[in-house]
Structures are given as structure tokens and as C-alpha cells.
Amino acid sequence: MQKEITGWHSPALGREMPIATYGHYGFALLMIPTAAADYLEYERFQLLDHLSPFIESGKIKIFSVNSINTESWLNNDMEPAHKAIRHNQFNAYIFDEVIPFIREKTSLETPIITTGASFGALHAMNLFLKRPDLINGVIAMSGVYDLTEYTKGFYDEQVYYNSPIHYVPNLTEHEILERQRRGKIIIATGSGAHEDPEANRRFSGVLRSKSIPHELDIWGEDITHDWPTWRKMLPYFLETRF
């Protein structure tokens, strides 16, 4: 498959940020890594091999970015308030730098769908919900949409604004809600080891309370919080929902 690694010095983050692009055509699939991982994680764990038919056929063009969680929520030596500042800088990097890069490599009309697993699912969901004018949907796998699961008890205004289960219930701006309602939202999780189907049901209820259409797909107890699950899930949804 066609692969290109590029990058630039991010003004938002003040550091070099590489990005891997796979494919030549199709809607843009923006992949957010899990936890402390990097932009090549999805390739390293063979998920890209399972997406190869979609890439080669021109259905999707993948853009995989670096995580900065080790510089924010997973940095135990950092003041909690500073973690939130760093995370907001990551959001700005995606919105102000990565999205224009994707537009340059595709077109202004090309749909952009975010996706991620585990902590990456929370980020992928948050990015879509915050800017549905830029992003057209999300495939979130094995996520928990409560940021306080990662903040070690810290909670402030910026945690609130990056924790979907907290801020979505209070959304009132009609234009944002209407854009969210037009998006394609898939929430998927297993019921096996280290999965949290109840957290997914709770978040589904929040979306339902705001009349935001979405699909909640809870898989069985044999589906655990691990790469074999995500290698099954993502191709399944790309095949059947897009």
C-alpha cells in the first residue's frame, strides 16, 4: 500500500510531530493512538494489515498521528492543571494543523472520520464532538468517555470541557448540536476482560438525551480490551457502516 511519513514543527505543541499517511484515495480516517503510543502503533500491531483492502480499493485514506498523553494525562510528574493545558494544545494541533493537512492531501469536501481504541477512543470522540464542523463522525472502540478515569481525581473546568460525559449533557448551542446530529457516531466495546460496557451504555444514554443519533454496539464476553478486538471491530464497521 502507498505509505508516506511526513511531519512538521507544530506551533501548537512546540515540537516535531510526525504523521503517517496510508493510501491514495477515499474518505479520511484520522487515527488517534492508545495511551502512550505513537503514530505507527496501528501499523505495528497489524491493524493496518486488516485495513489493507479498504486502503487499496480507495475507500479510505488513513492519517495516523502521534499521541502526547505522556506529556499530559499520563505524566505523573506534571501539575494536573498543566496536563489540561497540554491536552488543549493537542486539540489545537489537530484542529488547526492536522485537519488543514488532511484537506491539502484530499479535498475540501472529503469526509473526515476520527477513530481510536481505549484512551484513543475518548480523544477521537472528544475531537468530533468539539468540532463537528470539521469532523464528520467517529468510530470509538473500547473507550470510556469520562476523562476523570485518567486524571487521578483532578477535576477543573478544562477537564470538564474535554470529558464528553460531563459536557455533552449541558450542550445548548443549536448549530453545534445539529452538526453532531448529522455525524456518523459508532460506539463499540466488548464485554470481556478490561472492557467497560456499562460506561459505554451510560455515554450512549447521554447522547440519546440530546437526540444525537449514534450506534452502540456491545460485543460479547469473548471480546477483550486488546488488539485482536480492534483488528476485528474496525474492518467490520468500515465494511458494514460506510
Torsional sign, CA 108, 145, 83, 19: negative
Residue 145: give its domain's CATH number. Answer: 3.40.50.1820
Torsion of CA 226, 35, 42, 239, to 10 degrees: 60
How far apart are alpha carbons 59 and 237 in whole angstroms?
A: 13
pLDDT in tens, 76-102: 999 999 999 999 999 999 999 999 999
Position 153 pLDDT exceeds 90: no
pLDDT tens digits for 6-27? 999 999 999 999 999 999 999 9
CB 47 within 8 A of CB 29: no
Q: How far apart are CA 26 and CA 16, in angstroms?
A: 27
pTM over 0.85: yes
pLDDT at 184: 98
Q: Which domain holds residue 52?
A: 3-241
| Domain tally, the chain | 1
